[in-house]
Amino acid sequence: MSTETVDPRFVDIDQWPTEAAVDAMLEGQLAAVASIKSQVPAIAAAAEEAARRLRRSGRLVYAGAGTSGRIAVQDGVELFPTYNWPQERLVFLMAGGQSALTESAEGAEDDGDAAREAVAAAGVGPSDVLIGVAASGRTPYTISAVEAAREAGALTIGIANNVGAPLLAAAHHGLLADTGSEVVAGSTRMKAGTAQKAVLNMLSTAIMLRRGLIYRGLMVNMRVSNEKLLHRGHAIIRDITGVDEEVATRALDDAGMEIKHGVLIALGATPEEADQLLHEHHENLRPAMAALRAREPVDA
């Protein structure tokens, strides 16, 4: 596996000046991000199918072990505060259980049966999307999770850092971040981890984009949870609708702090109409706005 091999350039890195060693690490990080350029079409295809699959009740399920599992969980937990993606529509399958997020449980990665049991216990099914992440692409826990989810009818996405990895073949969508040798051999929290994080960021953001939770580059489904985000919510409504601060504030209040609803209310909908419009259009603001405008009477 390329992620485990020793790069001859760095065999004496422990004797290098610290600045030179750090510079080499930075070079590796830049190369890691560059390695995923070829995967843009594959990431887009996976995101589009995932968005279609999720619809109203589907869940995003993240599966992994060790470093890769922790990176996967990091991506998922950000979806609630950033896009108000419901927490009940997020599932995390971590080899060794939730305690493995902070304490190493590396031996758990070999337990494929545990992964299958976890997928079954979570009730993963046809409306769900499971994302499995493993630098080697050979981790039994992650491969078994993907296989079990696929057998249950879920859409599966595999992210790995080695060409020809079994994980990529096991998933409906295999995303390869071919990062090669690490500066410190086998330390996949470095280049491999950086590439995984970038792929996950793009994948989940593209899913949210296709689910209609982003409008004109704005986080219109953001969770308003503090004073800073309250002001941002008002600003988003003003930017989209052109209303003043007073109207935006009242609209967001009437919407129960739901920004998309607030936009429709600022445009003249009642709270009930805003609810109905968003429900009819699968929570996608753009077609909901178009439908509201189509209802407006045309001056004679």
Catalytically active residues are 78, 109
Rg (CA), the chain: 22
Residues 6+ apart with CB under 8 A from 39: 175, 176, 177, 199
Phi, psi of 114 (to 5 degrees): -65, -35
Question: In this structure, are residues 244 and 250 in contact, taking their beta carbons and an 8 Å threshold?
Answer: no
Tell the burial category of 250 from Cβ atoms under 10 Å away from its Cβ (0-12, 13-18, 19+). middle
Of the CA atoms within 13 Å of residue 126, those in its CB half-sphere come to 0
Residue 279: how many other CB atoms lie within 10 Å? 11
155-160: strand order across its sheet? 90-94, 60-64, 129-134, 155-160, 173-176
User: At how many degrees (to 10) do helices 259-266 and 245-254 cross?
Assistant: 120
Provide the 3-class DSSP secondary structure of residue 94: strand
